[in-house]
Amino acid sequence: MTAQHVLVPVDFSADADHAVEYAIGLASTLGARVTLLHVMQSPPWGGVDLDVTFPHAYSTFIQHLEAEVTHNMEAYVKRVTEAGLVGDMAVVHGVPFQTIVETARLQQVDLIVMGTHGRTGLHHVLLGSVAEKVVRLAPCPVLVVRQPAIAPIS
């Protein structure tokens, strides 16, 4: 397998953190560059359009949130560059699975490495799976990385 460009979606979960580490190791072996992507999805506010109802407060909130997300993403990029790799990042507003697929397409990514929360049952039915949708729609191979299971205490 050859991959020159790896995309890693980051949602700041432990699963995403594990995927970043996995992608760093894989990209090191392949000599690939790494793009880290965070998708900011507008939360549902119960039918209230905060950007219309409270435009200044909403704008200030989004600016602070973007600054915090960017700061956290820079720490991930630092991990990539400290591993001797070329890394960059993007913080984008949108629907996560759609934005991940579109970013992969636009940036001509060779591989997507992403974590999964591994939801099952009702959680999976209600929330869906970003990883599952990306696997179905991505223009390139997708490697879904799960954290190692913790052995039960006997």
If you average pLDDT over every residue of the chain, what do you get? 86
Residues present in the chain in total: 154
Mean pLDDT of 18-39: 96
pLDDT tens readout for residues 48-72: 565 556 666 777 888 899 999 999 9
Which pTM does this prediction carry? 0.84
pLDDT value, residue 133: 92
How would you label 133-149 residue by residue, b for 16+ Cβ within 10 Å and e otherwise? bbbeebebebbbbebee
Residue spans of the domains in the chain: they are 47-86
CB distance 146 to 116 below 8 Å: yes
Average pLDDT over residues 103-113: 97
For 119-154, write each residue's pLDDT tens digit. 555 444 444 589 899 999 999 999 999 877 665 565
